[in-house]
C-alpha cells in the first residue's frame, strides 16, 4: 500500500476562490435549516467557511481570525460554533471537518478503495471507485493559503448546488452583511429564511421560484383584445406563501412556534437592507404551479435608498404606451407604476402576474452555466414581448424592446 502522501489528489498549484461566487450543497442547507439547534451564528459561520473554499468547493483557507472578524465573535463563541458544525451530520456524513480530521477519515477509506481496485483489476465488469479527495499540498500552518477546513460536498451534482455571491460575506466596501443581520431580535428566523430563499433561487428563472417560496399575487382582469392580442390589467393584491413553502416552513420550524407575521417581518427586514427585492413579471400560469415560467419581465420594485446595481425594465412602459396608442386605458400615473400594470398576451395564452423575489448577492459570473442559460432565456423573453407588441400595434417591423437584465 502506498503511503499517505501518495494519496494526495492535486487540484491545482494554488487554491482558487472562484469568480466572485461560491456554492454549498443542498444537503448542507437541509441539515442547517432543519436542525432547530442551529442558530444564525452557525449558518453564517458555515457560509463564511464556504466563501473561502477553492474551486472544488471542499478546501477552505479561512482561519479563526477571519471568521471572528466577519461576525464579531469572541473566542468562546467561535469554539462553540465550530464544534457544533463539526458534529452536524447525517448517517455519519459530517457537514464540516478540520483538515486533520478529514485526512484521518479519508486515508483509511482511500486505502480500502485502492485495495478493492487492485483486486478487481482483471474483472471486466468492475468499475473502479474514486478516491476521496484530500487537501492539496500548500504552505504550512499559519501561512496564507493553508487549508484549515474541509466541507463535505456530499457528491452533489450541479443541480444540487446552492450558489451565493462573495459580497454577501463582505462586499467591496468591506461591509460585513451577515454581522449586521445578527443585530436583529429574530436573527435565527431571518437566517433560515435567507438560506431558504437562496435554496429556492434559480438564476435561469430570474429569481426565487414562487411555487417554492413566497410571492406577491396580482388580481387580473381582461380589458379587451386588439389584433389578436389580449389586454389585461393586473393589480397588486397580497403576499402569498406557496403550498410548497408552507410545508417547508413546518419542517424547518417543527419544534418552534412560528406565525406568518414573523415570516413577513423577517422578509421586510431583508428587503429593507436591500438583500431581497421584488421583480414584477408576467407568468405563463399560476405562480403556485411548478410549471409556471416567466413570459417577460415588467418592472423592478427596489427598496428606497438602496443601491441594488440593477437596471429597471422598460417593458411595463412600452406595453402601456402601446395599449394607450390602441385606445385603451393606461395603468401608469405620470409615467410611474405603483400597484397596477398592463399586460398583453397572444390569444390562447392566459398570463398571470406575480411579484417574485430576487437576491442582490447572487451568482452573476458569465462563465457560470446557470448564468449562461439565464441570458439565453432573457433573449427569448425579449423576442416574445417584441413580437406581441408588433402584433398589437399592427406594425410588422421590429419593436425596440428593453433589455431584460435587472
List, run by run, the mean pLDDT of 10-residue segments along the chain (406 residues).
36 45 93 88 97 92 92 93 95 93 92 92 89 77 78 91 91 79 93 94 86 94 92 93 86 71 92 91 92 88 50 77 86 77 92 93 69 62 82 66 47
pLDDT given at position 337 = 78
Q: Which residues contact 383 (CB under 8 A, 6 or more apart)?
A: none
pLDDT given at position 247 = 85
Q: What global pTM score does this model have?
A: 0.84
Three-state DSSP class for residue 208: strand
Q: Which residues contact 292 (CB under 8 A, 6 or more apart)?
A: 210, 211, 283, 284, 285, 286, 352
**What single-letter DSSP state applies at residue 358?**
E
pLDDT given at position 103 = 92
CA distances from 395 to 53, 138, 174, 388, 399 (A): 54, 64, 51, 10, 8
Three-state DSSP class for residue 176: coil
What are 262-310's pLDDT values in tens digits? Answer: 899 999 999 988 899 999 999 999 999 998 988 988 988 765 434 444 4
| Cα–Cα dist 205/191, whole Å | 23
| Cα–Cα dist 201/220, whole Å | 26
pLDDT given at position 100 = 92
Burial of 353 (0-12, 13-18, 19+ CB in 10 A): buried
pLDDT given at position 365 = 65
pLDDT given at position 113 = 93
Would you tell me how many other CB atoms lie within 10 Å of the CB of residue 20? 13
Give the CA dihedral 206, 208, 210, 212, nearest 10 degrees.
130
What are 35-81's pLDDT values in tens digits? Answer: 878 899 999 999 999 999 988 899 999 999 999 999 999 999 999 99
pLDDT given at position 136 = 76
Q: Which residues contact 125 (CB under 8 A, 6 or more apart)?
A: none
Q: Which residues contact 299 (CB under 8 A, 6 or more apart)?
A: 279, 280, 312, 313, 315, 316, 337, 341
**What single-letter DSSP state applies at residue 143?**
S
Residue 234: closest CA among 216, 209, 208, 214:
216
Percentage of residues in the chain having pLDDT higher than 70: 80
**What cell numbers appear for 313 in the block?**
425594465
Residue 215's H or E segment, with its range, is strand 214-226
pLDDT given at position 164 = 93
Amino acid at each position: 500500500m502506498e503511503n499517505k502522501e501518495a494519496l494526495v489528489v492535486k487540484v491545482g498549484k494554488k487554491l482558487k476562490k472562484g469568480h466572485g461566487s461560491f456554492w454549498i450543497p443542498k444537503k448542507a442547507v437541509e441539515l442547517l435549516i432543519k436542525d432547530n439547534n442551529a442558530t444564525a451564528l452557525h449558518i453564517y459561520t458555515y457560509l463564511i467557511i464556504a466563501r473561502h473554499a477553492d474551486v472544488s468547493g471542499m478546501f477552505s483557507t479561512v482561519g479563526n481570525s477571519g471568521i471572528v472578524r466577519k461576525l464579531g465573535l469572541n473566542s468562546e463563541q467561535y469554539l462553540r460554533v465550530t464544534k457544533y458544525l463539526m458534529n452536524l451530520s447525517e448517517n455519519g456524513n459530517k457537514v464540516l471537518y478540520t483538515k486533520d480530521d478529514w485526512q484521518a477519515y479519508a486515508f483509511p477509506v482511500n486505502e480500502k478503495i485502492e485495495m478493492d481496485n487492485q483486486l478487481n483489476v482483471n474483472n471486466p465488469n468492475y468499475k473502479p471507485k474514486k478516491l476521496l479527495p484530500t487537501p492539496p499540498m500548500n504552505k504550512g500552518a499559519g501561512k496564507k493559503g493553508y487549508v484549515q477546513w474541509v466541507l463535505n460536498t456530499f457528491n452533489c451534482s450541479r443541480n444540487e448546488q446552492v450558489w451565493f455571491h462573495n459580497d454577501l460575506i463582505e462586499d467591496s466596501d468591506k461591509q460585513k452583511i451577515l454581522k449586521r443581520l445578527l443585530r436583529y431580535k429574530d436573527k435565527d428566523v431571518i437566517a433560515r429564511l435567507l438560506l431558504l430563499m437562496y435554496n429556492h433561487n434559480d438564476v435561469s428563472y430570474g429569481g426565487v421560484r414562487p411555487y417554492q417560496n413566497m410571492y406577491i399575487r396580482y388580481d387580473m382582469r381582461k380589458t379587451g383584445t386588439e389584433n389578436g392580442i389580449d389586454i389585461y390589467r393586473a393589480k397588486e393584491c397580497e403576499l402569498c406563501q406557496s403550498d410548497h413553502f408552507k410545508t417547508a416552513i413546518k419542517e424547518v420550524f417543527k419544534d418552534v412556534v412560528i406565525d406568518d407575521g414573523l415570516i413577513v417581518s423577517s422578509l421586510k427586514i431583508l428587503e429593507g437592507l436591500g438583500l431581497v427585492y421584488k421583480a414584477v413579471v408576467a407568468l405563463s400560469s399560476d405562480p403556485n404551479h411548478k410549471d409556471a415560467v416567466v413570459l417577460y419581465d415588467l418592472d423592478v420594485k427596489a427598496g428606497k435608498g438602496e443601491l441594488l446595481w440593477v437596471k429597471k425594465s422598460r417593458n411595463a412602459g412600452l406595453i402601456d404606451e402601446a395599449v394607450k396608442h390602441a385606445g385603451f386605458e393606461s395603468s401608469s400615473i405620470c409615467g410611474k407604476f405603483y400597484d397596477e400594470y398592463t399586460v398583453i398576451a397572444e390569444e390562447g395564452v392566459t398570463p398571470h402576474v406575480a411579484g417574485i423575489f430576487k437576491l442582490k448577492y447572487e451568482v452573476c459570473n458569465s462563465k457560470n452555466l446557470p448564468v449562461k442559460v439565464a441570458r439565453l432565456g432573457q433573449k427569448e423573453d425579449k423576442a416574445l414581448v417584441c413580437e406581441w407588441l408588433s402584433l398589437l400595434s399592427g406594425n410588422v417591423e421590429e419593436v425596440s424592446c428593453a433589455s431584460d437584465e435587472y
